[in-house]
Amino acid sequence: MSLTDNAIKVLENRYLSRDEEGNITETPEEMFRRVAHAIAQADLKYFNEEEVKKTEDEFYNMMTKLEFLPNSPTLMNAGRPLGQLSACFVLPIDDSMEAIFEAIKNAALIHKSGGGTGFSFSKIRPAGSVVKSTGGVASGPISFMKVFNSATEAVKQGGTRRGANMGILRVDHPDIRAFITCKHDNKEITNFNISIGITEKFMEAVENDTEYDIVNPKNNRVVKKERAREVFNLIVENAWNNGEPGIIFLDRINMTNTVPGAGEIESTNPCGEQPLLPYEACNLGSINLVELLKEDGLSFDYEKISQTVHRAIHFLDNVIDVNVYPHPMITERTKATRKVGLGLMGWADALFSMRIPYNSQEAVELGRSLMRYIDSESKKASMNLAQIKGVFPYYDKSIFKERDILIRNATTTTIAPTGTLSIIAGVSSGVEPVFALSFIRNVMDEELVEGNPIFEQYMENEELFSVELMKRIANEGTLHHIEEINDDIKRIFVTAHDISPEWHIKMQAVFQEYTDNAVSKTVNLRKEATRDDVRDVFLQAYSLGCKGVTMYRDGSRNLQVLSVGKSSEKKRKLEPKERPEVTTGFTQKVKIGCGNLYITVNYDENGKICEVFTNTGRAGGCPSQSEATSRLVSIALRSGMDTKVIVEQLKGIRCPSTIRQKGLKVLSCPDAIGRLIEKVDKMNNNAETGAATLGTGIVESTVTVSSSAICPECGESVEHEGGCMICRHCGYSKCG
């Protein structure tokens, strides 16, 4: 196999099997053999062992050649005891306490198994409604969404990352204004992406500047009217503020629902590309377009694409049968519709290879014809499977009569964000443009320059390549200001911020034309983008037939995407400063599950927290673990890491000894440490005045907020994709 250093690092950190001591027990090739063998076993019901072994080898070769990769849970869990292979689920939430907490329980099980969850909160009665059974007052959907968020915080997803959620509320719900603004503060509801469920009636009212009905979901009665443009402008304002909420066109999604008899689609998975019925799961995978180019790299090998698509659909359909689902209803519903979602990655890199600018009509037309071909071949593959294995149980002949087909899967195509998968494959993500042509990594005492491989090869062929030039490109974030690079090169090798929002949406729309489900795509806006720019993005997405849209304005979050521009701050080497000779601090006694914990948080003369000490009382506890935690936190603080990032990692960690006792105010020793750091930080820092209150006096301090996000695991910069942050260096990701 040909894997990059980053790919190997990601596989070792997140995918390869380990023993009880945490030692890696398989190579990447062995991982792919494990997956191929497990997925091929679904064919034993239809073929003999020799044919199944042949299929296993085809699956193995397809993955080791990086022509196709399935979603992360399949790579992680196929052939292993957990056996949960799906990435995305949608769970229903009805308007009762029992239903709400049943959904929370099911979501926790899904997150534990490595999946993400989508919810519609639209059936929950609005805040302030009377609850007849108790005589009380309903708290509304947003308060319950915060409960879901806290539960997610407590569950690590597959032992590697926190779970991710999508929260959707219909635009005609009485609490819609509160929902639109519920993530105005970046620290709120951090484990959710949120989207507004937009209806056709609402968009017509926006266009005509008229009012629309607000409906109480408890009794379906119109309770008031809202001016559509006011609500739309509120959505625009908050999306401009920090990228949330996104919008989902619910009526448009249901118009293409291939199993309408099974119910109405109300929600999507966390990144928005997979609309699903309640209790449905979907298995996703992506073909790698770079590996499907002809040898000269100037055009696609359509014969090879066809072969790969047929094998990939076979693979994904098999996943449905070998999957170990986390709930009986999910098993029943998923096998009834047999939805799969084949997408692609490496689109921007393929365009680079073919010398076609992303922001050109030529690229748009190529995208349309390519996706038309992939979708058509995926249907042929599903029809072939139906001849052997039968149609999906919810098959409705009237839905497919225009094409007169018998088909195995209710859907076959989805374009997902490919995050860590594209790192493994060594290509650009999904249908996104490349974010940066060059970036700098700090390894030990050396700055290493890494460039986009296709761009780097082109520069070498043109005898333009040099390390210094690549550093300049990394610092500038674009080719525009590099004088020695001619306009033709600048026209071809464009990055996300070189591309106007109009072209982002055009590209998403042409892929949507021939995609059953939806397309995950982030419209990247420069920091200077206006609210009108955001409004235009939403309206263009609606007019061009997209099923939803997510946008992100550079610099609009504290923990944000990689910013274009100078890299000295965002690429700093993390080295701990010397401990100050004199510190000031607070010591707090905290009752934990196994006794008392004494925590000391110290800060320097500028009010910057620089160290943490812990000591346990006579009752015992875990002194070594508490000391280890405090030492690592101290090093991180003196290395310049944002206290908010540290607090986010510590707060919410639970300890069994704490859970077993009532009346405790903390969940664990790390949780207690995180809470005190947060308390001291709030007391010392005032973001608006720059003043820090230190006990009896006020000391002036300078608060520096970097415009780029730093990965909390490896210290490198991260990118933004489909409502999630992704580190292309170590594979860390966080949605919400």
CATH of the domain at 69: 3.20.70.20
Say if residues 270 and 724 touch (Cβ distance below 8 Å).
Answer: yes
SS3 at position 51: helix
**End-to-end C-alpha distance for the chain, whole angstroms:** 34
The span from the CA of 430 to the CA of 398, in Å, is 33
Residues 92, 229 share a domain: yes
Residues 188, 246 share a domain: yes
Tokens linked to 372 = 């038309």
Residue 99 host element (H or E):
helix 97-112
**Do you find a cis peptide bond into 393, omega within 30 degrees of 0?**
no
SS3 at position 190: coil
Cross-strand bridge partners of residue 449: 440
Q: Residues 6 or more apart from 468 whose CB is under 8 A from it?
A: none
Residues 337, 229 share a domain: no
Residues 288, 233 share a domain: no
The span from the CA of 721 to the CA of 711, in Å, is 14
Residue 372: alpha-carbon gap to chain centroid: 26
Residues 206, 183 share a domain: yes
Residues 393, 486 share a domain: no
Range of the domain at 155: 88-268
Say if residues 541 and 505 touch (Cβ distance below 8 Å).
Answer: yes
Q: How many domains does the chain have?
A: 4
Residues 292, 259 share a domain: no
**Which residues does the chain have with pLDDT short of 50?**
158-159, 559-572, 660, 687-708
Choose the final residue of a domain: 213, 233, 268.
268
Asked if residue 543 belongs to a domain, the reply is no
Amino acid 662: pLDDT? 54
The span from the CA of 53 to the CA of 37, in Å, is 8
Closest CA to 507 of 377, 364, 622: 364
Angle between helices 467-476 and 453-461 (to 10 degrees): 130
Question: String of b and e for 272-291 (b: at least 16 CB within 10 Å)?
Answer: bbbbbbbbbbbbbbbbbbbb
Known catalytic residue at 271: yes
- Give residue-wise pLDDT tens across range 419-458: 899 999 999 999 999 999 998 776 555 677 889 999 999 9
Residues 314, 457 share a domain: no
Asked if residue 736 belongs to a domain, the reply is no
Catalytic residue among 269, 283, 517, 524: 269
Catalytic residue among 271, 610, 711, 735: 271
Asked if residue 553 belongs to a domain, the reply is no
Q: SS3 string of 529-575? A: CCHHHHHHHHHHHHHCCCCEEEEEECCCCCCCCCCCCCCCCCCCCCC
Residue spans of beta strands (DSSP E) within 176-330: 192-198, 211-216, 221-227, 246-249, 267-268, 275-276, 281-288
Question: String of b and e for 483-512 (b: at least 16 CB within 10 Å)?
Answer: eebeeebbebbbbbbbbebebbbbbbbbbb
Asked if residue 521 belongs to a domain, the reply is no
Known catalytic residue at 273: yes
CB atoms within 10 A of CB 619: 12
The span from the CA of 656 to the CA of 103, in Å, is 23
The span from the CA of 299 to the CA of 304, in Å, is 12
Amino acid 528: pLDDT? 93
Catalytic residue among 273, 432, 450, 678: 273
Closest CA to 577 of 509, 539, 634, 625: 634
Does this model's pTM top 0.75? My answer is yes
Known catalytic residue at 208: no
CATH of the domain at 615: 3.90.1010
Residues 392, 312 share a domain: yes
Asked if residue 522 belongs to a domain, the reply is no
Closest CA to 479 of 490, 491, 471: 490
Residues 192, 96 share a domain: yes
Asked if residue 511 belongs to a domain, the reply is no
Residues 114, 25 share a domain: no
Instruction: Compute φ and ψ for 513, nearest 5 degrees.
Output: -55, -35
Asked if residue 520 belongs to a domain, the reply is no
Asked if residue 539 belongs to a domain, the reply is no
| DSSP secondary structure code for residue 435 in this structure | S
Amino acid 712: pLDDT? 65
Residues 258, 150 share a domain: yes
Alpha carbon dihedral 399, 401, 403, 407, in 10-degree steps, equals 60
Say if residues 375 and 516 touch (Cβ distance below 8 Å).
Answer: yes
